[in-house]
Amino acid sequence: MIQDLNKQFGNIDIYLLDQILKGRFENCSNLLDAGCGEGRNLTYFENRGLNIYGCDTNLMAIKMARMSHKNIPSENLLNSSIEDLELPEQYFDAIICTAVMHFAKDEKHFHQMLDKLVLLLKNEGILFIRMATDVGIQSKQSNGFTYLLPESDIENTFTKRGLQFIEPWKSVVVKGERSMGVFTLLKT
């Protein structure tokens, strides 16, 4: 049974799996995994036959993703940063970006990456982001992340870009040391 689940979903992010089980991606044809790494979140979508693109700045990770995901055209798995992606505007029905945005160099870089994702997303498209925040942690030190999304900025950061929360955002605090925010958004 575990092997069957692994074949169907791979080593998927648990919060992304939650959104899949809620049916968020049922009507998607074109999907971008922004910061896909070796492709751990692609298996389910690949098995469903979606037109998948992925990008990552780590060339070795992209090579591994190409080897592991043979049903995805290798030219769709790009060695690129998010903000430098050269893909058609408003092309994707869904964009997933898991554990990437907190590696922005600074706040300006974070906004450049987010603006690019919004530009690539179709109207009525789904944007799923999981990233570090400062919610519920005492020390605002980054614990290895270069950018923490401040709790005070969360709502405005997304709504001013025409994104609305599909469900209330959440942030999971781990031992009071780090906090991972989960944001499921609809472009309006």
Go through the domains of the chain in sequence order and give each one's CATH number. Answer: 2-187 (3.40.50.150)
Percent of the chain scored above 90 by pLDDT?
86
Instruction: Write the CB contacts of 95 (distance below 8 Å, at least 6 apart in sequence).
Output: 31, 32, 33, 34, 117, 120, 121, 125, 126, 127, 128
Given a cut of 70, is residue 78 above it in pLDDT?
yes
State pLDDT tens for residues 81-100.
999 999 999 999 999 999 99
With beta carbons less than 8 A apart as the criterion, state whether 181 and 110 touch: no
pLDDT at 174: 86
3-state secondary structure 114-151: HHHHHHHEEEEEEEEEEEEECCCCCCCCCCCCCCCECH
pLDDT at 141: 63
Cα 92 from Cα 164, distance rounded (Å): 17
pLDDT at 1: 74
pLDDT at 108: 97
> Which range has the worst mean pLDDT, 5-19, 55-69, 90-104?
5-19
